[in-house]
Chains A and B, each alone.
Chain A
Amino acid sequence: MPTLKIDGREVTVEPGTRIMEAADRLGIPIPRFCYHPGLSVAANCRMCLVETNKSPKLVPSCYDLCQDGMEVQTRSERVRAAQKAVLEFILLHHPVDCPICDQAGECDLQDQYFQYDYQPSRHAFRKQHKPKARILGPQIIYDAERCINCTRCVRFCDEVAKAPQLRQVHRGERTYIDVFPGRELDHPYSMCTADVCPVGALTTRDFRFKCRVWFLHGTPSVCAECSRGCSVRVDTYKNKVQRVVPRHNPLVNHYWACDAGRLAYHRFEADRAVHAMSRGRAVDYPEAVQGFADAIGTGPVQVVLSPFMTCEDAVAAVEVFRALTSATFFLGGRPDGDSDEVLIRADKNPNRRGLQMVLQGFGVSAEPLTALSQDARLLVVFGDENLEQPAVQTAAGSASSLVVFSALAGPVLESATFGFPITTPYESDGTYVNEFGVLQRVRPAVSAPGEARGAWRVLLDVAEAKRIALPARTAAGLFESAANRIATWAGLSYLDLGEFGVDLNARAAKPGEAGESARGAAASGDSNR
């Protein structure tokens, strides 16, 4: 276990720890461009040079290993001079693009120049020109003049996406990044290259020129595109989702997210359901609630749950229908799709596992959609994706009464006996459990349009109209009431979920300790924010 001193502060680390990692642990800032914690070390930007007593020359702290008795200086005169020189070289041919660059405001180059260089240009010559606004693929545009050749994107494609589509071309100061002739940067994780890019060289075509980053309001949430449930940050402006970017979560997705998940928000941009409907006409929401309440309670009901519902939606649904009628539950969802070894899962629904846990906790079983009976007296369908299932469509056509909960407008919702607009995953407040049993918090990034509200809120209102007592009136309360019924959730509340969520498998393995460790992780995550 080498013990070393960084800027006079002693730290003991495991053998094989890089100097930069040890400094990060102490909270000593070392500037960097090419180093990324999720990628291999390249040590090519030279921004992280530090002075040590083990080497006459400055060493890259992202690459050099900690040694016993090492004394590291991160802010000595030599280091400062090196940082200034490195930044001067990096900026030598950099275009004056900040006013038109999407990265401006979250640009490592801007921040580090201001912090470590802050001197005028000494470059009195014409700047080198390179390709600008090069379309590398369906999602990515590349500006070679802004590029600092850190190769984070190249390493990402090689190492994480396992799709070596990017390379450095040419040499010396003419170097830039490019795809092979006739090929495209089109692997399913291509937008991550824009995330890892420390400057504005790689930008996503989806977010390009859409909004200045300092106007964005970020909400930590969960991607709903597949059952991986990647931790994401939903960036919004003026109550609209502008982009979705991955959020570091060691339990789920590390630093990455797939393109499909980031672009999924477009699905909910048009044709939103905003009114409660009844047989083709818009009705007042209380009227629809009362009508729905009157329709249930006089006979058997078939309830088609959606794995896009949050756990809280499911808890409310089970509580209401169990109390009122003899209900049969079905679990629908989108059909399976592509999968790979990186992140993307075949199950394209975010919360199937969570719904199964809730149903199991209440001792209720869910049938597959094929078991839906025709000529149902009352059929309740949650989720717009269920409305596209042939089995549901057939059953809906023959049911005497049909109640639909959907975020998207459409003929089925409008012509249903009662149709309720509900929230999208970007507007929902609740929890999802991913395929691997990680329970994460979904937070509303934007407010729902019109009368749309969470399915659990509608169900609470129905319960009130029927005068049945539910255990709670908030999403947090519904969650805690369910936590008493589900073994692996025991004792959990929203406060325990933190930044990364809770690994329920770990709790199942070691009931006592795991809960504590998850809470500890959550607490440390909060302090990092």
Chain B
Amino acid sequence: MAQDQPATRGDLRFEPLKIQMGPSHPAMHGTVRIDLTLDGETVVEADVHIGYLHRGFEKMAEAGTWTKVIPYTDRLNYVSPLINNVGYCGAVEKLLGVEITERCKYVRVFISEVSRITDHLTAIGASALEVGAFTPFLWAMQAREEFYFLIERITGARVTTSYPRIGGLRWDLPDGWVEQYEQCERKLVRMLDDIETLLTRNRIFIDRNADVGVMKADDAIAWGFTGPCLRAAGVDYDVRKAQPYLVYDRLEFDIPIGHKGDNYDRYLVRLEEIRQSVRIIRQVIRDIPDGPVNVSDWRIVLPPKDQVYDTIEGMIAHFELIMKGIQVPAGEAYYAVEGGNGEVGFYVVSDGSGRPYRVHVRPPCFAIMQGLRDMIVGGMVADIIPTFDSINMIGGEIDR
């Protein structure tokens, strides 16, 4: 519509009001800007601008060895960095044609599901916050904090994990990880029940979220939605089922789906996915085999330190891996994992030089953000905040 001209609505004339929402605004998660055209409090047009968090990840990845990309992947979706680590390492391993060990596969599933829990807890807690409920947010953060302690114990860092390596892991899980996880789980389950009590049947919460920010299944597929936003619309697509990786094909879990594709469905889907992640982790704890977590090929994984310091063979392998890097054969590979927000895909190209020729990320948020305009136009300006939250945009991932 011609926004500069006075428009008519019924027999009333109105002046469209243009306001900039963001990029820096207390209610905007991450740095993003929405150019709004308002008629009173109704959104008549919205133009979503991304790119404020662009660091040049994909270009930086071409500068170092394949291994040196891993810390950059922490900074993609920084609410679930371990899933990005697993995805990138999986892509390079696919190009290398290397089969990682059984134990490593289970550990990677475990850390992926732990990360999914922290990711969904953040989204659910914030969705309550957006409509004025502060308590569930604090509870969710408290439960997430327990998981961050667990992640810190495993990887040495809360967010900048860089735990997986090409061909395995930095190190095995620490002693007592099962007990510590069970402690987290007790807290999580109690907290989930409490949150459900406060939110799921809450009149205010339902009024603010049900039938708001609707994205129908056909449109969601057309926009390239994946993850909870697509499943809330009723499409049962999940990378863990559609193209099972690691050991997901051996684990029992369900894919929750919604009906309407509104904010409320997205909340329910995330809530149920946390419970399914718990179910997966119980099976991992039951099934995880003993054994090494790294492949034994010295062309891929650093030799143990006693071999490096005491034998020339280990020394040379260490030297070559650090100085020249893993020699990935020329070719290209795409490897996708189910991230917190949907399909996180890594498309890697090697020219055989020991340095990545190209590392492209398919961030789930990017496709979802395309649909944001359609989700908020026609709604109220106050509904933008809960809708924007329910898609859980992560700046680090979308802008790279």
In the complex, chain B residues whose CB is within 8 Å of the CB of A105: 323
Query: Count the A-B residue pairs with Cβ separation under 8 angstroms: how many?
Result: 54
Main secondary structure of the interface of B (DSSP, over half): helix
User: Which residues from chain A contact B312 at a C-beta distance below 8 Å?
Assistant: 91, 94-98, 121
- Which residues 174-215 of A have a CB within 8 angstroms of B? 214
Among B298, B315, B320, the residue within 8 A (CB) of A111 is B320
Contact, CB under 8 Å: A121 / B313: yes
Shortest beta-carbon distance, B318 to chain A, in Å? 8
Contacts A91-B313, A118-B298 given: A104-B319 contact, CB under 8 Å? yes
B interface, CB within 8 angstroms of A: 297-299, 303, 307, 309-317, 319-320, 323-324, 327
Does A114 reach chain B (CB closer than 8 Å)? yes
Instruction: Report if A109 contacts B (CB, 8 A).
Output: yes
7 interchain residue pairs of minimum CB distance: A121-B311, A114-B320, A94-B312, A121-B313, A118-B298, A113-B316, A110-B316
- For B297, B299, B309, B320, which residue has the most chain A Cβ atoms within 10 angstroms? B320
With A118-B297, A118-B299, A120-B303 as given contacts, are A214 and B323 in contact (CB-CB < 8 Å)?
yes
Looking at chain A's contact residues, is the secondary structure mostly helix, strand, loop, or mixed?
A: loop
Complex Cα gap A121–B319 (Å): 16
- Cα A96 to Cα B316 in complex, Å, equals 9
A95: chain B residues within 8 A (beta carbon): 312
When the two chains form their complex, are residues A114 and B299 in contact, meaning their CB atoms are under 8 A apart?
yes
Query: Chain A 306-320 against B: per-residue CB contact (8 Å), 1 yes, 0 no?
Result: 000000000000000
Please indicate the chain B residues that have their CB under 8 angstroms from the CB of A123 in the complex.
311
User: With a CB–CB cut-off of 8 A, which chain B residues contact A121?
Assistant: 307, 311-314
| Contact B323 A109, beta carbon cutoff 8 Å | no
Contact between B298 and A119 (Cβ–Cβ < 8 Å)?
Answer: yes
Q: How far is the CA of A123 from the CA of B312 in the complex (A)?
A: 10
CA distance A323 to B313 in the complex (A): 68
Contacts of B310 in A (CB 8 A): 96
For A, the interface residue count at a CB cutoff of 8 angstroms equals 22
Whether B316 contacts A109 by the Cβ 8 Å rule is yes
CB-CB under 8 A from B299, the residues of chain A are 114, 118
Contact, CB under 8 Å: B307 / A96: no
Mark interface residues in A106-132 (1 if CB within 8 Å of B CB, else 0).
Answer: 000111011101111101000000000
Give, as a whole number of angstroms, the nearest-CB distance from A204 to chain B. 21
Contacts of B314 in A (CB 8 A): 120-121
A residues less than 8 Å from B303 (CB atoms): 120
In the complex, A91 Cα to B316 Cα: how many Å?
A: 10
With A105-B323, A120-B298: A98-B316 Cβ-Cβ less than 8 Å: yes
Contact assessment for A113 and B313 in the assembled complex, using a CB-CB cutoff below 8 Å: yes
Smallest CB separation, A104 vs chain B (Å): 6
Give Cα A237 to B298, complex, Å.
31
Q: Would you call B311 and A110 a contact (CB within 8 A)?
A: no
Residues of A within 8 A of B297 (CB): 118
Residue of B nearest to A91 (CB): B312
Chain B, Cβ-Cβ closest to A104: B319
In the complex, the answer to whether A96 meets B317 with C-beta atoms within 8 Å is no
How many whole Å from A116's CB to the nearest CB in chain B? 10
Say yes or no: A96-B323 contact (C-beta < 8 A), given A110-B316, A114-B299.
no
A428 to chain B, nearest CB (A): 32
CB distance from B307 to the nearest CB of A (A): 6
B214 CB, min distance to chain A CBs, angstroms: 57
Residues of B close to A115: CB separation below 8 A: 327
| Residues in B neighbouring A109, C-beta threshold 8 A | 316
In the bound assembly, the distance between CA atoms of A95 and B316 in angstroms comes to: 11
Residues of chain A lying within 8 A (CB to CB) of residue B320: 110-111, 113-114
- In the complex, residue of chain A having the shortest beta-carbon distance to the beta carbon of B304: A120
Closest CB in chain B relative to A256 CB, distance in Å:
28
Those of A84-99 within 8 Å (CB) of chain B: 91, 94-99
The distance in angstroms between the C-alpha atoms of A100 and B36, with both chains bound, is 64
A119 touches B313 (CB 8 A): yes
Nearest neighbor of B324 in chain A, beta-carbon distance: A114
Q: Is the CB of B323 within 8 A of A114?
A: no
Q: Which residues of B contact A96 (CB under 8 A)?
A: 309-312, 315
Chain A residues with CB under 8 Å of B309's CB are 96
- CB proximity of A200 to chain B, nearest CB, Å: 12
Instruction: Identify which of residues 385-436 in chain A touch chain B, using a CB-to-CB cut-off of 8 Å.
Output: none
Among A95, A111, A113, A117, find the residue whose CB has the most chain B CB atoms closer than 10 A.
A113
Q: Is the CB of B313 within 8 A of A98?
A: no
Question: A91-B313, A98-B315 are known contacts; what are 13 more A-B pairs with Cβ within 8 Å?
Answer: A96-B315, A98-B312, A98-B319, A110-B320, A113-B313, A113-B316, A113-B320, A115-B327, A118-B299, A120-B298, A120-B303, A120-B307, A121-B314
Q: Can you sample 8 A-B contacts with CB below 8 Å?
A: A91-B316, A96-B309, A113-B316, A115-B327, A118-B297, A120-B307, A121-B307, A121-B311
Given contacts A105-B323, A214-B323, whether A120 and B311 have CB atoms under 8 Å apart is yes
CA distance A119 to B299 in the complex (A): 9
| A47–B298 CA distance with the chains assembled, in angstroms | 20
Alpha-carbon gap, A214 to B65, bound state (A): 15
Minimum C-beta distance from B65 to chain A (A): 13
Distance, CA A214 to CA B317, complexed state (A) = 17
Closest to A117 in B: B313
Contacts of A99 in B (CB 8 A): 315
A117 to B311: give the CA distance in the assembly, Å: 14
Closest to A113 in B: B316
B317 and A114 contact, CB distance less than 8 A: yes
**Which residues does chain B contribute within 8 Å of A113, judged by CB atoms?**
313, 316-317, 320
Distance, CA A118 to CA B299, complexed state (A): 6
Question: In the complex, what distance in Å separates the CA atom of A110 from the CA atom of B317?
Answer: 8
Q: How far does the alpha carbon of A105 sit from the alpha carbon of B323 in the complex, in Å?
A: 8
What is the bound-complex CA distance between A94 and B307, given in angstroms?
14
Residues of A within 8 A of B311 (CB): 96, 120-121, 123
A273 to B96, CA, bound (A): 55
A residues less than 8 Å from B327 (CB atoms): 115
Q: A382 to nearest B CB, angstroms?
A: 44
Q: B377 to nearest A CB, angstroms?
A: 56
* Residues from chain B with Cβ under 8 Å of A119 in the complex: 298, 313
The digit string for A44-86, where 1 denotes a CB below 8 A from any CB of B, is 0000000000000000000000000000000000000000000
Please name the residue on chain B nearest to A110 by beta carbon. Answer: B316
- How far in angstroms is the closest Cβ of chain B from A175? 18
Question: Residues of B contacting A120 with CB < 8 Å?
Answer: 298, 303, 307, 311, 313-314
Task: Write out the residue numbers on chain B whose beta carbons fall within 8 Å of the beta carbon of A104.
Answer: 319
Say how far A211's CB is from chain B's closest CB, in angstroms.
15
Chain A CB within 10 Å — which of B303, B312, B317 has the most? B312
Q: Which residues of A contact B313 (CB under 8 A)?
A: 91, 113, 117, 119-121
How far apart are the CA atoms of A13 and B313 in the complex, in Å? 38
Q: Which residue of A lies closest to B303 (CB)?
A: A120
How many angstroms from the CA of A16 to the CA of B311 in the assembled complex? Answer: 42
In whole angstroms, what is the CA distance A95 to B309 when docked? Answer: 11
CB distance from A101 to the nearest CB of B (A): 10
- For A95, the closest partner residue in chain B by CB is B312
CA of A242 to CA of B374 in the docked complex: distance in angstroms? 63
Alpha-carbon distance between A91 and B299 when the two chains are bound, in angstroms: 17
For A94, the closest partner residue in chain B by CB is B312
Min C-beta distance of A469 to chain B, whole Å: 46
CA distance A308 to B342 in the complex (A): 68
Task: Give the distance in Å from the alpha carbon of A98 to the alpha carbon of B297 in the complex.
Answer: 21
Interface 1/0 per residue, A152-192 and B, CB below 8 Å: 00000000000000000000000000000000000000000
Distance of A98 Cα from B319 Cα, bound (Å)? 8
CA distance A115 to B324 in the complex (A): 12
- Which chain A positions have C-beta within 8 A of B298? 114, 118-120
In the complex, the chain B residue whose C-beta lies closest to that of A88 is: B313
A217 CB to nearest B CB, Å: 16
Residues of B contacting A97 with CB < 8 Å?
Answer: 312
- CA A118 to CA B314, docked complex, whole Å: 9
Please give the distance in Å from A203's CB to the nearest CB on chain B: 17
A339 → B minimal CB distance (Å): 42
Residue of A nearest to B308 (CB): A96
A98, A99, A104, A214 pick with most chain B CB within 10 angstroms: A98
Chain A 434-449, CB-CB to B under 8 Å as 1, else 0, gives 0000000000000000
Inter-subunit contact B319/A110 (CB<8 Å): yes
